[in-house]
Amino acid sequence: MRSTHAITIHRPEELDESLRRAWHRAMDESPDYANPFLAPEFATGVGRHRRGAQVAVLHENGEAVGFLPYERGPLGVGRAIGLGLSDCQALVHRPGVTWDTRELLRACGLSVFEFDHLVEEQKPFGPYVTGTFASPVLDLKPGEGSYAEWLRATYPGQAKTTLKKERRLGRDVGEVRFVYDERDPRMLRTLMRWKSAQYRRTGRMDRFSKPWIVDLVDHLFQVREEHFTGILSVVYAGDRPVAAHFGPRSRTVFAAWFTAYDPDFGYYSPGLMMHLRLADAAGRDGVTLMDMGRGEKEYKDWLKTRELRVAEGFAIRPHPVAAAHRLWRRPVRGLRNTVLAHPGLREPADRLLKTVGTLRTSGLAHSGEAGARAR
């Protein structure tokens, strides 16, 4: 159904209080939009570090009813805000609102709009979807009693092994304790350091080598709002941190984002320990859903209670730039998705990346030693 709106364009940090309230109201009126990555606070955080960040606001009868945060690049090439970091993307809108995608792109000054974690509900973007993917989620129930009781009731098959490893960790290193909302910024730096090392070991791009991402995470760690709160969680053994996670939560949804651990404690499965502790604590804190994000991981398959569907694609309007962008980007995405979708290809690719990561780390170490000798 075709629908015409008045559309205004704003920098995220320039939205006034009435527009932010209207955005929050749209989030509250649909569970599809309860994810913290869809909150204005996330768009504002990205906007502090990305000059092209903007928000299109759809108006009906003078009332703001829809919000599309995006980043506008050269020649009108656009992308969902935080593409590559955000695990949930959408035009957040009041129930019943629809739009004409080409009119929307024209109002935004975009020839193309790229997305990779689009909420399935976004029907006007449907013709531009090139693939849909599972996004595992964990439905949380408020726990009663101790963590061990919750774990045995929720994951009886894994409880014995996990609790045994926790007891072993406590004996070997020190009493295991979990801090759900750790406010010490030094621990955030520890998490980033662990995560950078993990990226390098596995041959992945080190996100924390990019200063703007470090600054964004630092900023989001300080945000304490109803629809977006940055939560840093840490598992300690005695006084030693062994695993940490940072991610945002809204009133009802917790987004799993950055998890890492000290590899010296890999025997104890600290990453799994972190996710289980986090699920228990988040449920007690009023969260009803943990979104683990798109991607094939064994622990996600084990923890999930169901799956959402998210879409990727390129919304376009007739324009030479749009055609060129699509021809360039679509084959790259197709190759990546083919590898990720087939274990027979994914596992060799992972091994290759880890080998490259090991060689790169080794090379950096030798370079450092040579440099030290030269100095």
State the chain's mean pLDDT as an integer: 87
Look at residue 318 in the predicted model and tell me its pLDDT.
Answer: 79
282 and 140 in contact (C-beta within 8 Å)? yes
pLDDT higher than 70, residue 2: no
Phi, psi angle pair for 227, to nearest 5°: -95, -5
Proportion of the chain above pLDDT 70, given as a percent: 84
Quote the pTM value: 0.86
pLDDT tens per residue, range 245-274? 999 999 999 999 999 999 999 999 999 999
pLDDT tens per residue, range 53-82? 999 999 999 999 999 999 999 989 999 999
Look at residue 5 in the predicted model and tell me its pLDDT.
Answer: 82
Look at residue 322 in the predicted model and tell me its pLDDT.
Answer: 53
Look at residue 295 in the predicted model and tell me its pLDDT.
Answer: 85
DSSP structure class, residue 62 = T
The dihedral of CA 123, 126, 129, 133: what is its sign? positive
Look at residue 327 in the predicted model and tell me its pLDDT.
Answer: 58
pLDDT band at 352 (very low <50, low <70, confident <90, very high): very low
pLDDT tens per residue, range 176-208? 999 999 999 999 999 999 999 999 999 999 999
pLDDT tens per residue, range 278-291? 999 999 999 999 99
Nearest CA among 213, 175, 174 for reference residue 191: 213
Q: How many residues does the chain have?
A: 375
Domains in the chain, start-ordered, CATH in brackets?
6-134+309-318 (3.40.630), 141-287 (3.40.630.30)
| Mean pLDDT of the 145-161 span | 91
